[in-house]
Amino acid sequence: MNEKTMQKVTYGLYVLTTKEGEKINGCIINTMTQHTTTPNIISITVNKQNYTEELIKKSGEFNVSIIDETAKFDLFKRFGFQSGRDVDKFADFDESEYKILENNIPIILKGVNSYVSAEVIESMDMGTHTLFIAKVTDMDIINDNNSASYAYYHANIKPKKEEVKSKGKVWVCKICGYVYDDEKEAVPFEELPDDWVCPLCKHPKSDFELQE
């Protein structure tokens, strides 16, 4: 079985936002899919470790801002590499960069071309992740920029990786570029448990590659 086969699947990229009471938060996902048009049903898959997952479970509502090819890496850093459990991602976010919709949940305005609002109708425990199935309640197009694919993000938005000099093996997260240098760590990468996740973007161990 070729483990790299799934890299041939095309994904888009999204800022998934939600609220619970006064608290608003969001994270980057690549897992939104439309299933049916009438009714308009979508799904998102969110890691249970993400604060956003906890908030959606409580509120049952979310917005998805569809990231386009003009997006800057800063957007990914803000929403994809830190948790709302540790920081308020909107506290120092310029007010021109987002807008609160009628459902009291923000959408992003820069680096995105459209948004969808939805209400959860069912959720499924997928082990590490929760799959939320939701009914679309609102949606609109902001501009005609091309949507960013996951492949576009890797080729054009994510900073190019710099070679790390080390006497040990160096493992690099393909998603965010986090470096695991065996020389500096107590446990060699290959001995980490299978459920270990990238400390930065929370992607699984299988998303790391050995620096050649």
Ligand X SMILES: Cc1cc2nc3c(=O)[nH]c(=O)nc-3n(C[C@H](O)[C@H](O)[C@H](O)COP(=O)(O)O)c2cc1C
Residues paired with 20 in a beta bridge: 23
Sorted by sequence, the CB contacts under 8 Å of residue 70 that are 6+ apart come out as: 110, 111, 145
Residues paired with 147 in a beta bridge: 68
The alpha carbon of 165 is separated from its chain's Cα centroid by a whole number of angstroms, namely 29
Kindly state the smallest distance separating residue 67's Cβ from ligand X, in Å. Answer: 9
Kindly state the smallest distance separating residue 167's Cβ from ligand X, in Å. Answer: 29
Sorted by sequence, the CB contacts under 8 Å of residue 173 that are 6+ apart come out as: 179, 180, 198, 200, 201, 203, 207, 208
Dihedral of alpha carbons 132, 136, 138, 141, sign = positive
Nearer Cβ to ligand X, position 62 or 81?
81
Strands 208-210 and 33-36: unpaired
Nearer Cβ to ligand X, position 158 or 169?
158
Nearer Cβ to ligand X, position 47 or 117?
47
Kindly state the smallest distance separating residue 126's Cβ from ligand X, in Å. Answer: 11
Residues that bind ligand X (CB under 6 A): 13, 25, 27-31, 45-47, 50-52, 76, 80-85, 153, 175-176, 201-202
Distance in angstroms (rounded) separating the CA atoms of residues 158 and 49: 23
Sorted by sequence, the CB contacts under 8 Å of residue 180 that are 6+ apart come out as: 170, 171, 172, 173, 189, 208
Kindly state the smallest distance separating residue 2's Cβ from ligand X, in Å. Answer: 22
Kindly state the smallest distance separating residue 183's Cβ from ligand X, in Å. Answer: 26
Residues paired with 172 in a beta bridge: 179, 209
Nearer Cβ to ligand X, position 52 or 103?
52
Rg of the chain on CA atoms, in Å: 18
Kindly state the smallest distance separating residue 65's Cβ from ligand X, in Å. Answer: 13
Nearer Cβ to ligand X, position 129 or 169?
129
Nearer Cβ to ligand X, position 28 or 107?
28
